[in-house]
């Protein structure tokens, strides 16, 4: 008789994306197999990224194209978290987006009014924008100086790629902070807002949930703020020598080591 595998120590694992499961267009070794092993052991897997460049469906489509199994309702991205915040706190207000098409798409999907002309919006929402122009930055600046609400998906200063790091959303946010002399409200990690949504939509329990990511200041800090366990993978931004007072429960060279660390084996 085959030996029965013991119950996993967690009921859900939340995975960061860039630097954790992939770098740019390159899937990190063992990432797909890790998720399959966890799911085979009955562990729910969800995806959480601060990035707001794609809609929730857009992120799921990207993951699927890379070989991961992902549904839109398993994805929590900066654009969706921002949309939910606006629905609950600022319904009916118009938003000027400083971001790529995915941000506007997600806002509109959730019934948020979007005005890309920058004329009369009461809210400026900022994420990474690789189509950024000085004109767009100027429109946001004017609105903020007039008193518009300043929101950001995140302030990540960099993000990892196959060939090194690139400026993150935080670089754009910083430009508007400096020019407008305003401070944004940031909805992404380490703000626990995303976990509140996950708990509402998936019934998660913080003590049974593990956050897996490559950044101490967002992923591990998010886990701490939510009362979750955390696993830091060294395949992205943070390195072993960066670890200080903010201690993750696990430190792994890559996500490929996670299932073994949890005592889980892939089913034959």
Per domain, the residue ranges of the chain are 12-50+189-261, 91-186
DSSP string, 116-181: TT-SS-SEEEE---TT--HHHHHHHHHHHHTT-EEEES---SEEEETTEEEE-HHHHHHHHHHHHT
Reported pTM = 0.93
Is residue 129 pLDDT above 70, yes or no?
yes
Fold equal for 12-50+189-261 and 91-186: yes
Query: What's the pLDDT tens digit per position in 248-266?
Result: 999 999 999 999 999 987 6
What is the set of active-site residues? 16, 18
The average pLDDT across 120-139 equals 96
Query: What's the pLDDT tens digit per position in 12-40?
Result: 999 999 999 999 889 999 999 999 999 99
- In which band, very low, low, confident or very high, does the pLDDT at 225 lie, cut at 50, 70 and 90? very high
Please state, rounded to an integer, the average pLDDT across all residues of the chain. 94
User: Using CB atoms within 10 A of its CB, is residue 27 exposed (0-12), middle (13-18) or buried (19+)?
Assistant: middle
Give me the CATH code for the 12-50+189-261 domain, please: 3.40.50.1000
Hey, which residues does 46 pair with through a beta bridge? 14
The average pLDDT across 144-171 equals 93
Does domain 91-186 bear CATH number 1.20.1250.20? no
Task: Give the number of residues written for the chain.
Answer: 268
């Amino acid at each position: 008789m085959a030996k029965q595998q013991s119950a996993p120590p967690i009921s859900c694992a939340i995975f960061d994306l860039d630097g954790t499961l992939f770098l740019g267009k390159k899937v990190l070794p063992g990432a797909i197999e890790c998720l399959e092993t966890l799911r085979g052991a009955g562990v729910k897997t969800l995806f959480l990224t601060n990035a707001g460049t794609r809609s929730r469906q857009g992120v799921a489509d990207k993951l699927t194209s890379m070989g991961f199994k992902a549904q839109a309702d398993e994805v929590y991205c900066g654009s969706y978290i921002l949309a939910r915040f606006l629905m609950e706190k600022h319904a009916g207000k118009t938003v000027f987006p400083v971001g790529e098409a995915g941000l506007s798409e997600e806002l509109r999907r959730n019934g948020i009014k979007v005005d890309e002309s920058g004329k009369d919006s009461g809210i400026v929402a900022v994420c990474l924008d690789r189509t950024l122009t000085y004109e767009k930055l100027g429109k946001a600046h004017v609105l903020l100086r007039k008193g518009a609400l300043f929101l950001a998906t995140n302030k990540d200063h960099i993000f990892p790629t196959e060939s090194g790091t690139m400026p993150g959303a935080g670089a754009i946010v910083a430009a508007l902070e400096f020019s407008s002399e305003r401070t944004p409200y940031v909805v992404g990690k380490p703000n626990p807002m995303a976990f509140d949504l996950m708990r509402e939509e998936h019934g998660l329990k913080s003590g049974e949930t593990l956050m897996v990511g490559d950044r101490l200041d967002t992923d591990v800090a998010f886990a701490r703020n939510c009362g979750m366990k955390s696993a830091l993978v060294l395949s992205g931004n943070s390195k072993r020598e960066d670890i200080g007072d903010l201690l993750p429960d696990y430190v792994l060279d890559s996500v490929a080591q996670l299932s073994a660390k949890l005592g889980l084996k892939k089913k034959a």
